[in-house]
A and B are shown apart, each in its own frame.
Chain A
């Protein structure tokens, strides 16, 4: 009997569409991952191609202990050791990730400034309260000044941060004081966002920095410039422009596509254009136009982090995560897939060619051969958006007969920004993180895990995400999530309040029930990992759980990571004091020293460290063990007696 072929996803809808793709003769990432194995030398960080003398390969010998002499010989042509090479490769990944996030942040800041100066019609300042908060945080005068004046200063200040050459990033002030001290002590306080990335490129050039510790130190510095800099600026300014997310009901998975409507999928990362498309798609003229083409309306949905952005703010449904982008087109019902930057597979154009779908690229930074390019012009955003929507509508009548939309979608509650969590835990008048801290202290909640990151075609789609998250919540660990993990959790039905009773441990379920929240909280896109940093800081500031993020009973993970952004995110989690476990593969295993340094020595330096565990259950157990270790250090590992107050104790209160 032939061995039954293992499914490539845990998601039934995806399985059906993978089958349809096969039937339609469409080649997808799932197929390519099977036919092409990862390079065994590159995947462990042992290949250096930074100069024309290489590429040099310095892998660990397989199946035997290396003698010191052999290790001596294991070098590149220039003499770079396996340590130097692994560290170089690793921090170049950090540079790639930090550059992506920060360039996103820069784009937002540029638009923000244009809006403040009245040069970007169609946009406005939606969240005045957050504008004031950011002004306060950044030391920008409020006084009697208009929103425009304040916003102009904020925009200019934000842009300055990217090109700043010395001093410290202004956004670092949001971190706990003790954390800022740790960074200064370790010499990793970023001076400017761009500068640290450029310096990585310089240091990893042939013949520059050839001490792995020094290289990794610079990696930390650039990653902080991402999480506490570029990403944070992106989140803060997006909230001001588009509104700070608040709880909202949305749907997820490819079943959100509609047979009788013009389906536009917005895919990528930046909300700048997608916000406008959301607005334009509701215009009566557009709906009329769609109707004139025989459609019943226009159906927007999102994919990857753009999806998370417009879900969080508008409840726009999510079609899927990274590994579902080709599958969406395979339905045959997508009239246009509008893309901007990051995590867009070039193959979507190839897949689209088998159907009628138009791939529309919009960013001058990201073009795809064969795709339609309609460049997004922020100074006339509505015009760009209308053109894009029209192109999609015009394409509706080109649909071919080969259409299959799975009749399934899942509900989810999203919109858990830091501000919203603060509100939800006490209402307008008593907003605070106190109930969270309290219930961590009393043990109902064991700890908090940030589970984030991509899909990776090397492992079963969504399996690592969902298995790990279920294991965590079963053990009373509240999960906060962003990016493709969030979408995976939503597809698995973990993001409705009812999931608490079904999947969470008793204590966590009780808290979820009291507040009315799911056990897994959707905090947004991958730049919104900065929200997790702010939430962690808020927990520190509310008291009772130590005085730095590294004291908190928390952990991080990216069980299906694949992008360089994930490495940068993981690195700034670690640099912020969070124990962070990655799955699938680990890019420095070619050097034991580098790996040990990241996995062990970092704990003494930063309070947080990396770990690698491809089994999601084991990884979750590692996280829980770390959480328990922190609980013990805080002295909250055992139940406390109820304190009853008398007058004398009340007098002692500050």
Chain B
């Protein structure tokens, strides 16, 4: 009986709007109309209101029009006998609920600034994280874009026991989904249940404790709405496109656990607008006919051990879960989990003991597929809290295998190991660092499982380029050191080869349309000297990816005739992007920020912007949340240029690309950089220094201003003049 649902949703909407209005009145009396309000560090204001209505709520006074709008949209209650059609009014009421909840939450940020941790992790005293800021959105957004996270489950309420809560959470994690949590049932909250069950929560483990009230559910909708604007390039206010984008591309659903209140119904009805169905554990009425969601709208009375599988089916999501022979849970959701000091059973690398990871090619007869050897002590031979040296030597063989693929396989080791629950991995090559938790060891995890999971996963993902793989894990210091020596020699050769590759000596570039699941018109074309702006893909990766999956998102792009060697434009590339962008973009330049620069989906690592007064450019990385001299924070910049647009004066790029030789070479190259955040400068210091020396301005790094010098052009110009920054002497950048 969807009439019951509609009636309840409309009642719930009335209550929440009423609550918001009262709160707003109180806040107005206390702070006045001019008091600024908003969620922390976001360019999307109150994102649902901004996305759907196109209205920016910046001050308390701005909320008045939203409250009026809510009241105008609130439908009359559903009549018992001969009701007027109620589905559409209930959906409208649900939408209004989200507007009102954003107002409530924004007022909470104003009244109780420390209510939420405002970071990725809970603190010892506070588990409520509040709204995801734009840094989190973009960082996590990449996972939505590349498919490592296909969607999220919005859980409200609580499970009957902590154990059931932990099981549901882990099942969702294993399906790679984010879990957004809000509200309570019977005095219990799902997030707290997880903490009590010793499950690590926070953004890194994808278990996001938004807030204790139902209104915190709106943070999930805000996340989804911003994804459509930032990655889908949809304009704020274009509500229909935003909602359809979510229906088609964000695989989210609502899991109410416990008694469904009017307010929960209102939120669930609202979520249907985004195409997010509700799957309940209680016997509430169902709405099975399809149309607004892809499949059913409300499905109920599902047992807890079936609820995740049911939800995934109802949402129409295909999740391929890797079968990996390890005794712990496994999947991308566990990548961000940490192993803290007191939990360590075994630690290796990280400067404490020598550690190295190395993939090398062998002849077919030298490799026995699936052979895993631990040479030296195994976990069973040591006690909790031990350290060991560790070398992970992976040997592959196969007809399609090329030396160039070795580093690509090697780079997988980091996240593949990290995917195992209770295992933390940092770094790569000879600076790797691993911690294995007591909890994992209790479940039976051993070092040989590292070999087993690498064997299974590398076969699964890269099976096309090799036939056989074996893994040796050395834990004796002598042997480890021996491997380190061999590996270092290979690393040196590899780096030299990559450094030597240029765009001119390469006839074929590679496309990357991985992001088209989220940004349908965006096409990256990656050349040796212009690596992917997301920082994840270089030319070699794309080449390998193409070999592995010839019909996949990385396709060879013949350069064809050169149209402009200086700005970096080729006919073959133009033809390709015209087609692949679905006729939205017909050309762009690889090496220019000023003239028709390359497009970005919105998940770029850095964004460069022209600073006309300084006759140069600045660049800012995603992690830097402060103001920049171009007048926009990273997130505003990303919002401006994301979604597959070519925006003269702005270009997205990878951190690595900053020090590549072709970096905006059409506009004068690296000499143009006059500002970047201090943290970015430190992060790329080594390569920046090398590149500066190469162009004969060894002190260039010191001439580049950062936020300690200023965050406006006026503030940094005197510094540049004092240092004699080369950009000031160059031709006018805007010619």
Contacts and interface: CB of A to CB of B under 8 A. Distances in A.
15 contacts: A249-B84, A413-B85, A426-B88, A435-B289, A442-B290, A444-B289, A497-B82, A514-B87, A516-B86, A516-B87, A644-B318, A645-B316, A646-B320, A650-B147, A651-B513
Interface stretch (B243-251, B376-384, B428-436, B653-661): B243-251
A429 B69 CA distance: 14
B451 interface: no
A424 interface: yes
Nearest to A653: B248
Nearest to A441: B290
Given A427-B89, A430-B243, A439-B289, A513 B3 contact: yes
B70 to A, nearest CB: 12
Contacts of B513: 651
A544 to B, nearest CB: 11
Nearest to A445: B289
A430 B1 contact: no
Contact of A247 (B3, B85, B318): B85
Contacts of A431: 88
Contacts of B318: 644-646, 649
Interface in B532-554: 552-553
Across the A-B interface, give the 9 residue pairs with the lowest CB-CB distance, nearest first: A435-B291, A427-B91, A647-B147, A644-B318, A516-B86, A650-B517, A646-B318, A516-B85, A427-B88
Contacts of B313: 642, 644
B295 A429 contact: no
A515 B82 contact: no
B520 to A, nearest CB: 7
Contact of A424 (B52, B87, B248, B319): B87
A411 B81 CA distance: 10
B305 to A, nearest CB: 20
Interface string A482-517: 000000000000001110000000000011011111
A513 B78 CA distance: 13
Given A429-B239, A439-B290, A653-B248, A644 B85 contact: no
A429 B91 CA distance: 8
Contacts of A646: 147, 150, 317-320
Given A249-B82, A510-B288, A642-B316, A430 B240 contact: yes
A437 B290 CA distance: 10
B273 interface: yes
A647 B150 contact: yes
Residue with the greatest number of chain A CB neighbours at <10 A, chosen from B52, B91, B320: B91
A243 to B, nearest CB: 16
Interface in B339-387: none
A36 interface: no
Given A427-B92, A427-B273, A510-B289, A642 B295 contact: yes
Contacts of A428: 73, 88, 91-92, 95
A517 B290 CA distance: 15
A389 B87 CA distance: 40
A234 interface: no
A359 interface: no
Contacts of B312: 644
Contacts of B87: 424-425, 427, 514-516
A494 to B, nearest CB: 13
A651 B517 contact: yes
A592 to B, nearest CB: 45
B297 interface: yes
Contacts of B6: 516
B582 A654 contact: yes
Contacts of B665: none
B292 interface: yes
A164 interface: no
A634 to B, nearest CB: 17
A127 interface: no
A428 B70 CA distance: 13
Given A413-B85, A434-B291, A644-B313, A513 B520 contact: no
Interface of B: 1-3, 6, 52, 73, 78-79, 81-92, 95, 146-147, 150, 239-240, 243-244, 248-249, 251, 273, 287-292, 295, 297, 312-313, 316-320, 513-514, 516-517, 520, 552-553, 582
A643 B313 CA distance: 9
A653 B316 CA distance: 15
Contact of A645 (B2, B85, B91, B317): B317
Nearest to B312: A644
B317 A413 contact: no
A436 interface: yes
Contacts of A510: 288-289
Interface of A: 247-249, 411, 413, 423-431, 434-439, 442, 444, 496-498, 510-511, 513-517, 642-651, 653-654
B273 A516 contact: no
Nearest to B90: A427
Contacts of A249: 79, 82, 84
A354 B582 CA distance: 75
B481 to A, nearest CB: 42
A513 B249 contact: no
Nearest to A444: B289
Given A413-B82, A497-B83, A646-B320, A434 B516 contact: no
A644 B52 contact: no
Nearest to B242: A429
A250 B313 CA distance: 42
A439 B287 CA distance: 13
A651 B516 contact: yes
Residue with the greatest number of chain A CB neighbours at <10 A, chosen from B2, B82, B248, B291: B291
Nearest to A521: B85
Contacts of B147: 646-647, 650
B316 to A, nearest CB: 6
Contacts of B150: 646-647
Contacts of B292: 425-427, 430, 434-435
Nearest to A507: B289
Nearest to B250: A650
A426 B290 CA distance: 11
Contacts of A424: 85, 87-88
Contacts of A511: 289
A511 B292 CA distance: 12
Nearest to B244: A430
A517 B88 CA distance: 11
A466 B517 CA distance: 50
A585 to B, nearest CB: 37
Residue with the greatest number of chain B CB neighbours at <10 A, chosen from A434, A649, A650: A650
A511 B248 CA distance: 22
Residue with the greatest number of chain B CB neighbours at <10 A, chosen from A426, A431, A517, A649: A426
Given A497-B85, A642-B316, A647-B146, 17 more contacts: A413-B82, A425-B291, A426-B292, A427-B292, A429-B239, A429-B243, A429-B273, A435-B291, A496-B82, A497-B82, A516-B2, A516-B3, A644-B312, A644-B317, A645-B318, A650-B249, A651-B553
A123 to B, nearest CB: 26
A73 B358 CA distance: 102
Contacts of A649: 318
Contacts of A513: 1-3
Nearest to B145: A647
Nearest to A433: B291
Nearest to B78: A516
Contacts of B319: 646
B88 A438 contact: no
B86 to A, nearest CB: 4
A427 B95 contact: yes
Contacts of A496: 82
A58 to B, nearest CB: 53
Nearest to B285: A513
Contacts of A438: 289-291
A435 B316 contact: no
Nearest to A249: B82
Nearest to A426: B292
B82 A411 contact: yes
